[in-house]
């Protein structure tokens, strides 16, 4: 099932916050992304209904396996692409912004080819 870019961003943010803070609540996501609490609440409801997350009785959010897979894929793409762009001389803020847009649309085939190319170049250095 193909999910929207915004859902991918939410899942990635949950992963980042979980790694940084341990626990994740909707307010943490709203603060991190600069979104309103009602907007995040609606997004969490949609992610929960589609089986990507669970929310316990205290409001703590956990990624389900399907949500975790998407979050890890998007996060890997973001960190790899932004790091590569910085290595190429791109300003870090621009690199992060460009990576954020590209991480959602690049095919697995192209991303893997780029990763393999960069690894080959680094081995030769």
Let me know if 103 is exposed, middle or buried by CB neighbors in 10 A (0-12, 13-18, 19+): buried
Encode pLDDT of 66-76 as tens digits: 999 999 999 99
Sole residue written with tokens 């969490």: 44
Q: What is the mean pLDDT of the chain?
A: 93
pLDDT bucket at 2, cuts 50 / 70 / 90: low
| 3-state DSSP of 65-107 | HHHHHHHHHHHHHHHHHHHHHHHCCCCHHHHHHHHHHHCCCCC
The reply to whether the predicted model has a pTM over 0.85 is yes
Angle at 100 between CA 115 and CA 93, to 5 degrees: 100
- Domains of the chain, with CATH numbers? 5-69 (1.10.10.10), 72-124 (1.10.60.10)
Encode pLDDT of 4-20 as tens digits: 889 999 999 999 999 99
């Amino acid at each position: 099932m193909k999910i929207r870019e915004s859902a991918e961003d939410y899942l990635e943010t949950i992963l980042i916050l979980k790694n940084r803070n341990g626990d994740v609540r909707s307010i943490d996501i709203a603060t991190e992304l600069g979104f309103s609490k009602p907007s995040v609440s609606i997004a969490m409801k949609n992610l929960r209904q589609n089986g990507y997350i669970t929310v316990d009785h205290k409001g703590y959010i956990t990624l389900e396996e399907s949500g975790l897979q998407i979050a890890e894929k998007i996060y890997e793409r973001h960190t790899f692409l932004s790091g590569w762009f910085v290595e190429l001389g791109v300003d870090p803020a621009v690199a992060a912004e460009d990576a954020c847009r590209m991480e959602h649309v690049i095919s697995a085939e192209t991303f893997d080819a780029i990763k393999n190319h960069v690894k080959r170049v680094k081995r030769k250095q």
